[in-house]
Amino acid sequence: MSNVYNHRQMVPSAPLSTRVTELLDALKNEYDSLNQEASNMRLFKDEYEQRVNSQINEIQAVQQNLFELERTHHKIRQQYEEEIMRLRRELEARGGPPVTPSPFLQQLPPQHHQAPPPSQQQHQPPPPMSQPHSAGMPHGPGMYTGMPPSSGPHGGPNGSAMPHGQPPMAGEPHPGAYMGPPGQYPPGGMPVNAHGQPMTPQQQAAGVKDRKPVMTPSQGMPQQQGVPPPSQGQAGPSQMGSRQTPTQSQRSGSLVPARGAAANNQLADMDPETVPANMKREGADWFVIFNPKMPRMINIENVYTLEHKSVVCCVKFSNDGKYLATGCNRVTQIWNVATGANECVLADEAATKNGDLYIRAVCFSPDGKYLVTGAEDKQIRIWDIQKRAIRHVLTGHDQDIYSLDFSPDGSMILSGSGDRTVRLWNLESGKEMCKFTIDDMGPRDAGVTSVAFSPNGKLVAASSLDKMIRLWEVSSGQLLQRIDGHKDSVYAVAFSPDGQSLLSGSLDKTLRIWDLGRFGSNSRSNDTVSCRSVLVGHKDFVLSVAYSPDGNWIVSGSKDRGVQFWDPRSSQTQCMLQGHKNSVISVALSPTQMYFATGSGDYRARIWSYETLPAPM
């Protein structure tokens, strides 16, 4: 019985409050762990949705491209069928076999396919040569070397491939491009249509409407009131931009853009003759078509046409908006925006006289005292505008200079070259301060095509031929981000005025707006740069992009000879301007006035005005 009472001594349990605390701590730790997992899942979900949306947008763009290709194929096939039917009917009329119905076309009445009399065929005016196969840019090693054969400006005639990495010889235009006077036949006398393609016999017989050339003051255009007559040392008629008056009665023919526009709008395929009057604007040799799916919010007029003797590679306004600089072969010219007068011509007499020497980039200093130019001879020249003299010649780049920009405070110059480097220079001393090199995993031919300072001067952006955009920090020289998304070489970059976004234009025919995230001026928390929207509408290479000073408009110039205005909020195009006979290589907007300028391969720069219309009720 004694064993019954031999119980183990009971150990006093821990106080109740301590146990509860331990349990609560365990619950808290588990909750924190689950909360962290949920946060990670949300981040993963957001990133996944972003990728899905991006792929959906790309798939939609591809689908629209395919649809447009099918439509173009249908038109071409229909044209061939019509021509075959016409020839068969003509053969039948001469005693040949009867015409059999075409499997593709419905049987058309014979009178619709009768060829005009030979006398009419002989007196039709020749069509213009519009050079669609050239980017409108002069030759130059470095920028295009290494691009896929027949995909860029160095593709051979009719799309044939050039030897890999071999640029055109000095003094020669691009293979496949006719760089003769606009409106003439290329060598060989083959007539071409408005799209630069050989004309069919039916088109030659029917004739093609041509554009009326712009009249200069020397050709009888009344001189603008308030502009003094040329005197000694002042630009004469040949150095003066021709003032344009937008009257529809001056228009002698239709400027129908080339076919093949892919995208969320069909402006480039619309014939201005069939567009309602309220959705277009016409001048003597230009027209604007507005997007019928969007409210009309802008009006565009031509102000001056500035004639040059060679391809206009670049245009840039001064910070006060009073002057426009243009770069062409061997010379840089400064024009008065108010009068269209040529203020001065800057040419380095010490430069080599052999071959061409195109000025690829120009930029005014913020105070307007200096103009910096970059050329094919790998040199950057800083011009004292008042003295018409070179202050510094900056050397160090190994290939052509393609882009220049001034820092917002005017103390530094930014340059981009085909040698894969971006360099910072001190304005006062002319010394190199920093070199940003593309030495990562990119291809050998990652030449720099465009550079830009951010509005606060803290960031540098550069686009290159390897389809990438790179961001560097100015103070440390550190590479912050590689931005990948375009499907072909990126030719142009520009920061938004608020510094929150970056705009790019590419040979893939699109523009992209990038959200800079934590790299923007507001330093938002998200780490990576993301593509906010893809702007699809051009039907050929996008060569130049720019923001309006208020950030409400994006302007782009393309090899398709068109300029488009985009609304960055809706990512839709507002209108398309056709006012050049060759590629629009450069676009620039005035910082102070409602003007923009275009430079083209047709040997012209043009100054335009744009006016925001009141919102519709």
Rounded CA gap, 513 and 498, in Å? 13
pLDDT at 242: 62
521: pLDDT strictly greater than 60: yes
Query: For 453-484, what is each residue's pLDDT tens digit?
Result: 999 999 999 999 999 999 999 999 999 999 99
Task: Count CA within 13 A, CB hemisphere, residue 600.
Answer: 30
> What residue type is 490 in one-letter code?
V
Q: Which of 73-87, 196-210, 265-279 has the highest mean pLDDT?
A: 73-87
Over residues 13-21, the mean pLDDT reads 76
Question: Where does the pLDDT of residue 9 fall: very low under 50, low under 70, confident under 90, or very high at 90 and above?
Answer: low
205: pLDDT strictly greater than 50: no
> What is the token pair recorded at 337?
């925006």
Do 193 and 236 contact (CB within 8 A), yes or no? no
Residue 219: φ, ψ to 5°: -100, 10
The contacts of residue 554 (CB under 8 Å, 6+ apart) are 503, 511, 513, 535, 545, 546, 547, 548, 565, 566, 567, 568
Query: For 262-292, what is each residue's pLDDT tens digit?
Result: 344 568 777 788 888 888 999 999 999 999 9
Q: How far lies 125's CA from each of 15, 180, 196, 575, in Å? A: 107, 18, 16, 31
Question: Where does the pLDDT of residue 441 fall: very low under 50, low under 70, confident under 90, or very high at 90 and above?
Answer: low
The contacts of residue 94 (CB under 8 Å, 6+ apart) are none
Query: For 116-149, what is each residue's pLDDT tens digit?
Result: 443 333 333 333 333 333 333 434 333 433 333 3
Query: For 367-389, what is each residue's pLDDT tens digit?
Result: 999 999 999 999 999 999 999 99
Over residues 168-178, the mean pLDDT reads 33
330: left (phi over 0), alpha (psi -120 to 50) or beta: left
Torsion of Cα atoms, 478 then 480 then 485 then 491, to 10°: -40
Residue 278: φ, ψ to 5°: -80, -5
Question: Model's pTM, two decimal places?
Answer: 0.63
DSSP assignment string, 104-169: SS----GGGGPPPPHHHHHTSPPPP---TTS-S----TTTSTTPPTTSSTT--GGGPPPPTT-PPP
Torsion of Cα atoms, 242 then 546 then 63 then 71, to 10°: 0
Over residues 10-36, the mean pLDDT reads 81
Do 421 and 448 contact (CB within 8 A), yes or no? yes
Q: Give the three-class secondary structure for 540.
A: coil
**Which residue, 314, 321, 316, is CA-closest to 338?**
321
Tracing tokens 């744009």 back to the chain, one arrives at 610
Rounded CA gap, 331 and 603, in Å? 13
